[in-house]
Amino acid sequence: MRQPTPLLPWLLILLPATAMVVLVLVLSVQTGWRSAIDYLDIIAELVLLGILLKWVQTASVLKRQQRTYWVFLAGNACLVWLMSLKLVEEVSLYNELWFQIAESLFAIAGVVLLSMGIAAWSRDYQALIDDTEAKKNQYKQLSITDALTGLMNRTAYNQRIEQFVSDQQPYLLMLIDLDHFKQINDRYGHDAGDAALKQVGALLGSNSRNQEDCFRVGGEEFAIVLTQCSLSQAESIAERLRTAIETHAIRWQDAELSCTVSIGLCLSQTGESPQTTYRHADAALYEAKQNGRNRVVVSH
């Protein structure tokens, strides 16, 4: 729907108001004028009229919600017309039936429409808040998600480890690295390498106790963080993951690629920094690579 021009709302409100005031003033020539004028009432009505006209200007923020904008504007217009007639009534003795009916209708319609407009604006505003919050959560999730594999990324890993350290909760760190990944890239291309990373990431996520504890922390390196788990249990989980990847055929176009992983496992110690735990797990991973790859090594 086409946006209203800035002048249009003022014309729709002020022209009818001016026409009614002029008409009543002309008709008042026959009925006469009040001899005693209550200037306090006139000042109060002028202030209220000014507030209503200010609302017309303020209502421009609602233009994106066209229905809300026009309902609010219609209610405001009725009250402006009412106050215009009330001002004339302060100086005129004109009091025909249509004049009284018009005031009553403007009062009722103004209150009803303005209430509807405010209620609609409140709903629109709440919807905007909900939408903003949803987008905020979406952006936050994207900031901690690895775009290629869909697993948590290095930022999320650091946040999770910081939480464990803050809570003084021990954890088991499993570092997983694809064996001979460079050969896949060199032989089949980087798209094949990406396919291998995505499928290995999916295997790790589906075979982990909690996918949110599975992270891609580097190029072909993944990490899994385990809690409330013994070292022997963690070693069994690592072996299961290694076997699942070894027996899985990486599908790339018409080819099936074999892939294995080396895994280093380390249990965090009380008072030990996250960097130290990571370094021990990385040393165990390096040992697994040196001893022929496709194996699990536990840091002692």
Q: How far apart are CA 80 and CA 19, in angstroms?
A: 13
**Assigned token pair, 161:** 């480890």
What pLDDT is attached to residue 267?
95
Residues present in the chain in total: 300
What pLDDT is attached to residue 202?
94
Q: What is the percent of the chain where pLDDT is above 90?
A: 44
Least confident of 2-6, 87-91, 219-223, 254-258: 2-6
Q: Is 179 exposed, middle or buried (0-12, 13-18, 19+ CB in 10 A)?
A: buried
Which residues lie closer than 8 Å to 244 by C-beta, 6 or more apart?
Answer: 203, 207
Least confident of 23-37, 133-147, 201-215: 23-37
Q: How far apart are CA 284 and CA 261, in angstroms?
A: 13
The answer to whether residues 216 and 148 touch, using CB atoms and an 8 Å cutoff, is: yes
- Under DSSP, the state recorded for 147 is T
From the list 220, 221, 235, 256, the catalytic residue is: 220
What pLDDT is attached to residue 49?
82
Reported in sequence order, the residue ranges of the chain that DSSP labels E, i.e. its strands, are 172-178, 214-216, 221-226, 250-252, 255-257, 261-267, 296-298
Distances (CA, A) of 269 to 226, 259, 274, 282, 287: 14, 32, 10, 15, 20
Q: Give CATH for domain 154-298.
A: 3.30.70.270
pLDDT digits (tens, 9 = 90+) for 225-276: 999 888 999 999 999 999 999 999 888 888 888 899 999 999 999 889 999 9
Residue 163 pLDDT exceeds 60: yes
First-last CA distance in the chain? 70
CA-nearest of 183, 163, 137, 293 to 225 is 163
* Residue 140: its H or E element: helix 97-143
**Domain residue ranges in the chain:** 7-140, 154-298
Q: How far apart are CA 57 and CA 129, in angstroms?
A: 23
- Under DSSP, the state recorded for 63 is T
Determine whether 133 is an active site residue: no
Q: What is the mean pLDDT of the chain?
A: 88
What pLDDT is attached to residue 71?
86
Q: How far apart are CA 274 and CA 20, in angstroms?
A: 78
* pLDDT classification of 159: cutoffs 50, 70, 90: very high
Threshold 0.85, pTM exceeds: no
CA-nearest of 79, 42, 44 to 59 is 79
